[in-house]
Amino acid sequence: MAVLVINNNRCNLCGQCIMVCPFKAISRQNDKIEIDAGCKMCKICLKNCPEKAIGLIDERRTTVNKEEWRGILVFVEHLAGNIHPVTIELIGKARELADAVRHPVYCLFMGHGISQQAQKLLRYPVDRVFVYEDQELAYFRVDTYANIFEDCLRKVKPSIVLVGATSVGRSLAPRVAARFRTGLTADCTTLEIRANTDLVQIRPAFGGNIMAQIITPDARPQFATVRYKVMTPAQQLTIPRGSIENCSVSPDKLKSELILRQVVMKEELPGISEAEVLVAAGRGVREQKDLALLEELATLLGGQLAATRPLVEMGWVHYTRQIGLSGRTVKPKLIITCGVSGAVQFSAGMNASECIVAINQDRNAPILAQAHYGVVGDLYEVIPLLLEKIKGVRETNAL
């Protein structure tokens, strides 16, 4: 990366560069001209310096020895010992990547009273589970968890770290990555690995209009967060092959600036991420009361109602039912989209569904190109016929 530098031997402190800088990033300090972090590399100062005292040089970043960093580590997210299913998905992807470069797979599990749950992780293709157990780790506090996370990474030195893109993961991962001055790619949809262990992190960018490929070639470890329901869960082993390593916790790393006053468990509501059948409403739905029609279809099929972002923003549907980049990622066995155009922001959140049925009166709607079955028609005509047909089949089977 190129940087601007001041040649103090040539600079006569005329102040021309200070006046022309549009970002106020140049100032006079102790009879010297200095350029601070506000510089955007517009190079206007370079062109306007009458003494040619400003130059451009290449700043070469020091690179790590990649051979010293081996393995793929998965952060185990849990609540009171109950492991979040995104962890199992990450283990599956970690094993796939690790096999390609012959690296081990590790898990980092921190909490209190988690020994029994740690044993369950050995059912999956992991080589070692690092367990940090202490009363102070019973509930998530980002500063203490970051301390333990950092301690583990410095001891184990994994090449790649995978974290679930949950509220916990999105808070924890960037803090730990910053301590290692390394890169982090959020909400990855695809992960690949090169022979030199560089992780190719693929995710939607510019509103989902392109798929960006991001690598961290000069730093280790490489951090990536992945949404739930994006990866395929790991298969259980017939014979466990991994081991558990109980790690000691330094008291100074358990000190927190956060004071835990009370823990109130949030009421667990059924989420669309777990549903096997979804009926998704889009802009083709004319009025809020018409959602009752789709709700009836979802109920008949034993599923749930979901929606696109516009309906959530209008207040018609709760935000927990939104599918897409800014909502939930889903992977049901069946999804029926009703009046959904199929914009990339929505499609990225459901394109892994086993069976996609699209109902749209616009035969050129993008959703029809993604669907396994497409119905070109008005949902207000198609849905009643579909409800009638399902009810008829059920009545026949009941006789």
Tens digits of residue pLDDT in 115-125 = 999 999 999 99
Domain boundaries, the chain: 2-58, 66-254, 272-398
Q: Binning pLDDT at 50, 70 and 90, where does residue 130 land?
A: very high
Question: What's residue 394's pLDDT?
Answer: 83
How do residues 173-207 score in pLDDT, each as one tens digit? 999 999 999 999 999 999 999 999 999 999 988 76
Prediction pTM value = 0.80
State mean pLDDT over 35-58: 89
Architecture category of domain 66-254 in CATH: 3-Layer(aba) Sandwich (3.40)
State mean pLDDT over 294-315: 95
Given a contact cutoff of 8 angstroms between Cβ atoms, the answer to whether 218 and 181 are in contact is no
Q: Residues 309-317: contacts with CB within 8 Å, 24+ apart? A: 309/345, 309/346, 310/282, 310/283, 311/281, 311/282, 311/283, 311/285, 314/288, 316/281, 316/285, 316/288, 316/291, 317/281, 317/291
Question: What's residue 378's pLDDT?
Answer: 95
More confident residue, 232 or 265: 232
Question: What's residue 66's pLDDT?
Answer: 94
- Alpha carbon distance 111, 259 (integer Å): 17
Given a contact cutoff of 8 angstroms between Cβ atoms, the answer to whether 190 and 348 are in contact is no
Question: What's residue 59's pLDDT?
Answer: 64
Q: Which of 9, 33, 11 is nearest to 21 (CA)?
A: 33
Question: What's residue 1's pLDDT?
Answer: 62
Given a contact cutoff of 8 angstroms between Cβ atoms, the answer to whether 323 and 349 are in contact is yes
Instruction: Tell me whether the CATH fold assigned to 66-254 matches the one assigned to 272-398.
Output: yes
What 3-state DSSP class applies to 166?
Answer: coil
Q: Which of 348, 350, 208 is nearest to 273 (CA)?
A: 350
Q: Which of 47, 8, 50, 3 is nearest to 29 (CA)?
A: 8
- Alpha carbon distance 140, 111 (integer Å): 8
C-alpha pair distances (Å), 58 with each of 2, 4, 119, 268, 315: 4, 9, 51, 54, 52
The CATH topology of domain 272-398 is Rossmann fold (3.40.50)
Whether pLDDT at 320 is above 80: yes
Considering only the top CATH level, what class is 2-58? alpha beta
- Alpha carbon distance 384, 394 (integer Å): 15
- Alpha carbon distance 375, 344 (integer Å): 20
Question: What's residue 335's pLDDT?
Answer: 97
State mean pLDDT over 266-279: 84
